[in-house]
């Protein structure tokens, strides 16, 4: 049976991040993708120049419309933007327990633009974190959620992962892509302890949408019934391949997108 996965996130018209990246990752990982829009952005590979928010009630209407008709096997939450939308998403999902939820706390765009209002951080922490099967912050996002300095080493990463899990998520994956050096380790905190996932850093500027892509791949694997550590291993390997193949695309002049279909497309096709 093909699984159905719902993304609740913002739109990236250049196709590298947001809903567009989520749907590509869902397809690449063999699940049927659905999308609820929280925001429209004006952006490209060089940055975000504008954001138009969807009214919170209409975000909830979209979610309810999907659940009223379609079996949902997993949910990925990306750009929430403000407190009202965070409340609407939390209210719509609160009574739909038992479905894996991957929460990617999108707070800052690759070019530095703020994508989450400061007052929304508290609502996201109180209302959405306890609904999450897996929270997937990068180092700046983990620090912002905890109101702490950004982790600079593995010990600090592990400590922040455990502190975040204490706020309610079943598991937390703190991504180490912002660390200095040639390695890009991630740490997963679960009820069973800490699990490290190692990877070499790929020398490329084409990393637009990596967080969206990883969280969507994680939701796809959880929808298929994999364990959280198993899903992380598969999704991280998939993303590494997508980043490694990003140079085969020619999209924009800034931070280009990853190649979501690296395992499916043949060169020249």
Q: Which of 24, 76, 175, 224 is catalytic?
A: 175
Q: Helix (H, G, I), strand (E, B), or coil: what is residue 182?
A: coil
Q: Which of 125, 133, 190, 207 is catalytic?
A: 207
Contact by Cβ (8 Å): 110, 207: yes
Q: Helix (H, G, I), strand (E, B), or coil: what is residue 137?
A: coil
Written as one string, the DSSP assignment of 189-207 is: EETTEEEEE--BPP--S--
Does the annotation mark 110 as catalytic?
A: no
Does the annotation mark 78 as catalytic?
A: no
Q: Which of 211, 224, 236, 256 is catalytic?
A: 211
Tokens found for residue 266: 């043949």
Contact by Cβ (8 Å): 258, 219: no
Q: Which of 10, 15, 84, 209 is catalytic?
A: 209
The residues, ordered by sequence, that sit 6+ positions from 251 with a Cβ below 8 Å of its Cβ are 14, 15, 16, 45, 257
Does the annotation mark 133 as catalytic?
A: no
Does the annotation mark 212 as catalytic?
A: yes
Does the annotation mark 177 as catalytic?
A: no
Q: Which of 38, 125, 133, 210 is catalytic?
A: 210
Does the annotation mark 175 as catalytic?
A: yes
Residues designated catalytic: 175, 207, 209-212
């Amino acid at each position: 049976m093909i699984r159905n996965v719902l993304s609740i996130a913002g739109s990236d018209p250049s196709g590298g991040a947001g809903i567009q990246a989520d749907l590509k990752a869902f397809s690449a990982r063999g699940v049927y993708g659905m999308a609820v829009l929280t925001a429209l952005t004006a952006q490209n590979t060089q940055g975000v120049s504008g954001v138009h928010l969807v009214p919170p009630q209409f975000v909830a209407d979209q979610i309810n419309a999907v659940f009223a008709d379609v079996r949902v096997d997993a949910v990925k939450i990306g750009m929430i933007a403000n407190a009202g939308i965070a409340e609407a998403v939390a209210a719509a999902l609160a009574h739909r327990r038992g479905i894996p939820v991957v929460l990617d706390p999108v707070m800052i765009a690759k070019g530095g633009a703020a994508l989450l209002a400061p007052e929304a951080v508290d609502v996201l922490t109180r209302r959405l974190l306890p609904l999450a099967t897996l929270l997937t912050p990068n180092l700046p996002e983990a620090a912002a959620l905890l109101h702490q300095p950004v982790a600079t080493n593995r010990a600090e990463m592990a400590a922040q992962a455990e502190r975040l899990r204490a706020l309610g998520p079943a598991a937390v994956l703190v991504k180490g892509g912002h660390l200095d050096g040639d390695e890009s380790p991630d740490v997963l905190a679960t009820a069973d302890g800490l699990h490290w996932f190692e990877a070499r850093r790929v020398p490329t500027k084409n990393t637009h949408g990596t967080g969206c892509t990883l969280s969507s791949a994680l939701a796809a694997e959880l929808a298929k019934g994999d364990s959280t550590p198993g899903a992380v291993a598969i999704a991280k390997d998939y993303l590494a391949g997508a980043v490694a193949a990003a140079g085969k695309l020619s999209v924009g002049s800034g931070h280009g997108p990853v190649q979501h279909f690296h395992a499916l497309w043949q060169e020249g096709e």
